[in-house]
């Protein structure tokens, strides 16, 4: 395992929307589709792998939060995310636990 992947695995966290909101206001949040591994995406961003990141963007597997998503999360501030900081970005996936709780 690469040093970057090891560090990213150590830095992964579960965070509530209220803690992510300030980063969303700074337009640095990237939403990652649940089909992708957050660590793999973080590593690609950290290593500036533009071809892979561009591919995910084109496939709509990573993107800035949409207005609908922001509205939904603001309406449900208890929404939880799996998060990873890859400066200057905060990359997030909605926690599978949200669906278990009916969010």
* Per-residue CA distances from 54 to 44, 48, 63, 69, 89 (Å): 10, 11, 10, 21, 16
d(CA 73, CA 75): 5
| Tokens describing residue 24 | 């969303």
pLDDT tens string 5-58: 899 999 999 999 999 999 999 999 999 999 999 999 999 999 999 999 999 999
pLDDT band for position 102 (50/70/90)?
A: low
Query: pLDDT tens digit string along 75-91?
Result: 998 899 999 999 999 99
């Amino acid at each position: 395992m690469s040093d970057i992947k090891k560090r990213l695995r150590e830095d992964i966290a579960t965070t509530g929307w209220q803690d992510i909101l300030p980063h969303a206001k700074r337009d640095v949040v990237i939403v990652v589709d649940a089909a992708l591994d957050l660590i793999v995406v973080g590593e690609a961003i950290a290593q500036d792998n533009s071809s892979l990141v561009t591919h995910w963007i084109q496939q709509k597997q990573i993107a800035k939060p949409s207005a609908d998503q922001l509205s939904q999360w603001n309406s449900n501030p208890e929404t939880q995310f799996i998060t990873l900081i890859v400066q200057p970005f905060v990359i997030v996936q909605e926690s599978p636990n949200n669906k278990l709780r009916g969010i």
